[in-house]
Every structure is written in C-alpha cells, then in structure tokens.
Amino acid sequence: MDDDATLVEDLRRRIAASPFHAGFGISVEHAAAGDVLLGWEARPDHRNLQGLVHGGILATLVDIAMGLAIRTVVGPSRRHVTIDLGVHYLRPARPGRLEAAGTVLRVGSQVGFAEGSVTDATGRSLVRASGTYSVTQERTDGATG
C-alpha cells in the first residue's frame, strides 16, 4: 500500500496516548485509508504452557490492527468501539517478529466491518480475523475498541 504520512503520524500519536497500546509495544509499519500494517515482537513471556504464544495475545494484536484500520476511515469526530471479534487460529505462533494487517471492508453511518490477519517472519498466515465496530459519533452500545 502507499503510505499516507499523515495517517501514520496520527496512528502513532494515538498509540502513544493510549496506556494499553503503548504498553503492548506495537509499531505502525504502514497505513493508508482502510489499511494498516503493524509490527510486533512476541516475547517468551507471551508463551503458554505448551510454549506457544497465547491466543488472547494474538486476538489483541489483530483487534488493534483492525480497529486502527477503521480509525483511518472514520475521521476524528467519530469513535470506534468493538461490537464483535472473531478469530481463527490457523497455525501455532512462537516468540519472534510478527506482523498484523487490518483492512476495512465497509464503514457505514453506524457500523464498520474489518478483516485482519497475523503472519510470522516467513510470511506464513497464523491468524485470520473479522471485527465489527460501532462508529457513531455519540456514546455507543458496544464496549471496548
């Protein structure tokens, strides 16, 4: 995708300003209207008993990528709040460099739809996900973002 420097800058500012995002440690690799690519390093302390990266962490990563993709489209006056998140785990993930992509499918006046994926350093697809977001201007029904 062609980077949009203003969008990249805006997303980086948002990440720095959010306690959770800042602590999670993601970097914005690319961003354009409707598309975001994040980099993230899975550490040994993200492993479960089986030595694999915990699925909740991967769900978090891909939800962030999809939410930020929605963010690039809705404009500053609207909120985005996750209504539902669906994650499929195709292959196990091990500590190391991962990438997460988020892509907008559609943003309407009230609801936005996105899809996402997580790949490892060799380009193998580990996770495929979908998310629905409330994108209204006022206080919403949903919950989290």
Q: How far is CA 8 from the centre of its chain?
A: 14
Residue placing its CB nearer to a copy of itself in the complex, 32 or 136: 136
Strands 125-134 and 81-89: antiparallel
Q: Which residues contact 134 (CB under 8 A, 6 or more apart)?
A: 79, 80, 81, 82, 83, 110, 111, 112, 140, 141, 142
Q: Report 57-116 residues binding a copy of itself (CB under 8 A).
A: 57-61, 63-64, 79, 81-93, 105-106, 108-111, 113, 115
Binders of a copy of itself: how many residues, by CB under 8 A? Answer: 62
Of 1-9, 25-33, 120-128: span binding a copy of itself (CB under 8 A): 120-128
Shorter beta-carbon distance to a copy of itself: residue 31 or 127: 127
Tokens of 39: 């980099």
Q: How far is the CB of 29 from a copy of itself (least distance, A)?
A: 19
x/- letters, 8..47, toward a copy of itself (CB under 8 A): ------x--xxxxx-x--------------------xxxx
Q: Which residues bind a copy of itself (CB under 8 A)?
A: 14, 17-21, 23, 44-50, 52-61, 63-64, 79, 81-93, 105-106, 108-111, 113, 115, 125-128, 130, 132, 134, 136, 140-145
